[in-house]
């Protein structure tokens, strides 16, 4: 889990990332396998993971991990949640790829700044 720049799928058996990955910036894409808009943003999500290798990108299948829907108040898919140190910093609902790119760039600027 220490190699960033990839998209990780949250497995049904692990609802949390490993402890060493719980700090720092994360982007979670909460989706469903039958969701057409989710499929639309998937290539963009993967490209952003390559562009921002210092961030962790995780996809969550709501059918496998339904508790994520409740925990993050997901009412529609796709939902992208931006986290830092386990706290939600921003959220995007829907498949607006330009908005996903803007929010990811803003998150990277905010999250990756040195104090």
Catalytic residues: 35, 38
> What whole-number distance in Å separates Cα of residue 85 and Cα of residue 25?
7
- C-alpha separations of 17 from 44, 50, 82, 90 in Å: 22, 19, 14, 19
> What whole-number distance in Å separates Cα of residue 32 and Cα of residue 53?
25
Q: Name the DSSP letter for residue 71.
A: H
């Amino acid at each position: 889990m220490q190699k960033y720049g990839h998209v990780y799928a949250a497995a049904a058996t692990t609802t949390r990332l490993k402890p060493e990955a719980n700090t720092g910036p994360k982007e979670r894409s909460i989706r469903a396998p039958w969701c057409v808009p989710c499929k639309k943003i998937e290539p963009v999500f993967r490209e952003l993971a390559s562009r921002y290798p210092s961030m962790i990108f995780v996809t969550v299948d709501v059918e496998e991990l339904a508790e994520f829907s409740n925990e993050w108040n997901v009412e529609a898919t796709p939902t992208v949640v931006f986290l830092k140190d386990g706290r939600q910093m921003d959220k995007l609902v829907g498949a607006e790829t330009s908005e996903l790119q803007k929010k990811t760039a803003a998150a990277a600027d905010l999250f990756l700044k040195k104090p």
